[in-house]
Amino acid sequence: MAKEKNVEQITDMDVDFAQWYTDVVTKAKLIDYSGVKGFFILRPYAYALWENIQKELDRMFKETGHENVSMPLLIPESLLQKEKDHVEGFAPEVAWVTHGGSEKLSERLCIRPTSETLFCEHWSNVLTSWRELPMLYNQWCSVLRWEKTTRPFLRGREFLWQEGHTLHETAKEAEEETINMLNVYATLFEDFLAMPVIKGRKTEKEKFAGAVATYAVECMMHDKKGLQAGTTHYFGDGFAKAFDITFSDRENKLAHPHQTSWGVSTRMIGGLIMTHGDNNGLIIPPRIAPVQVMIIPIASHKPGVLEKADELTAKLKAAGMRVKCDKSDQSPGWKFAEHEMKGVPLRVEIGPKDIENNQCVAVRRDNREKEFIPLDELEAKIEALLEEIQTGLFNRAKKNLQENTRPAKTLDETKTLIEEKGGFIEAMWCGEETCELKMKEDAGVTSRCIPFEHKKVDEKCVVCGAKAEKMVVWGVAY
Amino acid sequence: MAKEKNVEQITDMDVDFAQWYTDVVTKAKLIDYSGVKGFFILRPYAYALWENIQKELDRMFKETGHENVSMPLLIPESLLQKEKDHVEGFAPEVAWVTHGGSEKLSERLCIRPTSETLFCEHWSNVLTSWRELPMLYNQWCSVLRWEKTTRPFLRGREFLWQEGHTLHETAKEAEEETINMLNVYATLFEDFLAMPVIKGRKTEKEKFAGAVATYAVECMMHDKKGLQAGTTHYFGDGFAKAFDITFSDRENKLAHPHQTSWGVSTRMIGGLIMTHGDNNGLIIPPRIAPVQVMIIPIASHKPGVLEKADELTAKLKAAGMRVKCDKSDQSPGWKFAEHEMKGVPLRVEIGPKDIENNQCVAVRRDNREKEFIPLDELEAKIEALLEEIQTGLFNRAKKNLQENTRPAKTLDETKTLIEEKGGFIEAMWCGEETCELKMKEDAGVTSRCIPFEHKKVDEKCVVCGAKAEKMVVWGVAY
């Protein structure tokens, strides 16, 4: 396949995974760097991917009764400070607006790092009766966090996300919402991004600033590090009290509602790249791929080839697939490499010989398997291949997760496993933060989550040996 | 209809149009005010309307070959200053970020008031060959402009919009793009928002900061004032030179591309309200209405009523309509007024007597006409009614525009017409800015545009009497 390497070489992922990642996001034309550190440009191909993800997620939000809104970009400093834990968590990393035009502002305004405070202020204005509950809101926007180190998709000073914010009559309803939305996220990751997840609860140390409880979906990347892919938060009525949000309940008494928030971001595109990619570039699961099938005419100067390529394109498009035909004046080899770099799940080649035999050649991006497809069965065969790729990618990632998740009973065992093999550790935890910190200090791992799917690995805490009921998944994370 | 007035009264539009507008945007639950002046919250109903508009526009953008991208929120001061006219136009009204976390920034960053400079910087990084042209980009985002006076939708310090930015090989192609996109806007306004437009070119004085030419679609509101509803700009290669954007042309020589930008914003929702609304509230054209049909059960405690209401809802939904059923415990009268306020195009009432007669009652929002609909013909009749409402609203607005656009040959005639009747004036103009300024000074009108559809109102400039070829539409505008 040497002739296919006419696209600039990318770094070998097993030699330098971080450099491989940077190479892929630029060479696949996902990202350009702007003049301000940590602010990334999402080029058309990345944005199309984000739109496909948005479409599925937005559909699921609406099916579960949520409505979209738009909140302001700026938060007055005094508003940010209303909830004590929240401001402590976010104030150190916000960007401050001090001037509007030539006028110095009487109060600094921060660019939203997240919008809990804005939603609370709005709700304190509009909520009156239990009849208006639940309020199930979502917002698609960008937020800013002034991070020290930044990487495309994974950690930006600005990133695109959705933030759901909901108000409920009862604590029970709000708690259910956090679990329901975590399940929506799990569906998105597993069924569309082909990324298997571990669902669980965060420890007190790792939870969101101001939350009573935080839940997360955690994934494992190709390099066996963890990625927190999405979180949902239960707030109780803490914010409602801090912001004086009240309503007349069914007994006509004044009550505080219970609240949640939840979010996923373009970070998941980073996760997608690090889950499925290989040394030829990106691999995008068919269900969210901007282009599912790239048709490449071979010997396109020969009579009938371009016409046939157009015909196949039209047929697949009519069958509902996202298909393109690359008729540029580049060589087929150049095109193969280009669309492999961009992770197009399936390539279809059509040349004079194929036309003669009433067939085309389909080449899978995930395993490079080649198949001759009779043109009479084109749509059905291609659709089946796309499904196979989707499932194949999920199974490969699932295998990576399962094979690299190992139980440990002691801190020493944990250290050895992490040093020698990496991956996730399943180990019991007594619930004390000192033990959690010791795991970080000695073995370099943080608690990823306390999985809903409990396994009794041992009776005792992996660090202090005290009786332990909780099983925690630990790992090195992005 | 007195019993329908149990929703809080709104101001009479013919008594105080501005107050009527403010009443409608709040009582129809479109807007809430945030704690920062000029930053408005788009509540679910307003955002659903925006999403419907976005959907049609985004579809048309993609059908014409455009791709969405995401650019950074912040622009370094030095980047904003690269194009002289552009910075002069925008620098006085931007918001400045001076601190990130606790660190003072070495250079001030402004929140984008528009993104020409960011697109130019990106293109100067990535463009290499004529093969990559045209680049047809669009971005959906919010922008900030630190306005002194603000009004919901019409003038916000923050507003949602789309900004198209394109690069072309030739001036001709770029010029064509500005006209094509103006036509896309005209289609959106006329066919979906039922707002008739005048298409034309802006005068030098009114054009965009940094543009060679600006084109606009102009509308007339119920109070006969004008609203600039959308603009497209041709930049020539001025920005390309200022930002050093080059490419190898077909002769392998280094060349500067030609550039356009174009945008419409949530301002159009303000325009929609002021075009179609009446003293009972909003009226939303069916093609973009979040709810096209509101079904209201009458005597809903009677057996079979709610079931029938559900059945009608399901039928209309299955036929592809956006339909809801209001089963709340409010009275029918309250519901009538509520959904009239929110401008739902069609109300369908169903009660025991209707069920007996195998019919329902449809009441149009635009003219309050009542019609009995045989249930066997439900879907077809309702669909036809929605189409009639759509057309009816457009025709009513068109009539308003035509009846209130009048020719004038002198400044005195203009003054009298504007004072006595308002509306638009069609008058010849010599092309001198002094005459344009005099029209503003003496008659209080600005040039809305030089319409593509030329009318020869006179031989001489309405102000100075010199020979004049250009016909300008003048008016008082929002």
Q: How far is A50 from chain B (nearest CA, A)?
A: 10
**Which token pair is A93?**
């990393």
Distance (Å) from the alpha carbon of B46 to chain A's nearest alpha carbon: 8
**Is the CB of residue B189 less than 8 Å from the CB of residue B219?**
yes
Q: Tokens 């001198």 identify what position?
A: B432
Of residues B214, B31, B240, the one with CA closest to residue B117: B240
**Residues 6 or more apart in contact with residue A148 via CB below 8 angstroms:** none
Asked if the C-beta of B250 comes within 8 angstroms of chain A's C-beta atoms, the answer is no
CA dihedral over A403, A404, A408, A412, signed as positive or negative: positive
Closest residue in chain A to residue B131, using alpha carbons only: A328
In this complex, do B39 and A137 lie within 8 Å of one another by their Cβ atoms?
A: no
Residue in B40, B72, B95 closest to A36 by CB = B72
- With an 8 Å Cβ cutoff, are A109 and B36 in contact? yes
Picking from A248, A237, A276, the residue whose alpha carbon sits closest to that of residue A390 is A276
pLDDT at res. A61: 98
Cβ–Cβ contact B129 with A under 8 A: no
d(CA A237, CA A462): 35
- Predicted confidence at residue A7, as pLDDT, reads 52
How many alpha carbons fall within 13 Å on the CB side of residue B230?
A: 33
User: Which SS3 state, helix, strand or coil, does residue A445 take?
Assistant: coil
Best B74, B116, B158, B265 residue to mutate vs chain A (most A CBs within 10 Å): B74
Mean pLDDT by 10 residues, chain B (478 residues): 53 97 97 96 98 98 98 96 86 94 94 97 97 97 96 97 98 98 98 98 93 97 98 97 97 98 98 98 98 97 96 98 96 96 98 97 97 98 98 98 98 97 98 97 97 96 97 97
**Percent of residues, chain A, with pLDDT higher than 70:** 98
Q: Is B34 within 8 Å of A118 when comparing Cβ atoms?
A: yes
Give this prediction's pTM.
Answer: 0.96
DSSP letter for B203, please: P
3-state secondary structure of B157: coil
Strand pairing report for A405-407 and A424-429: parallel
> Which pLDDT tens digit goes with each residue over A282-334?
999 999 999 999 999 999 999 999 999 999 999 999 999 999 999 999 999 99
B141: nearest CA in chain A?
Answer: A141
Residue A1 pLDDT level (bands cut at 50, 70, 90): very low
DSSP track, B414-442 = HHHHHHHH-SEEEEEE-S-HHHHHHHHHH
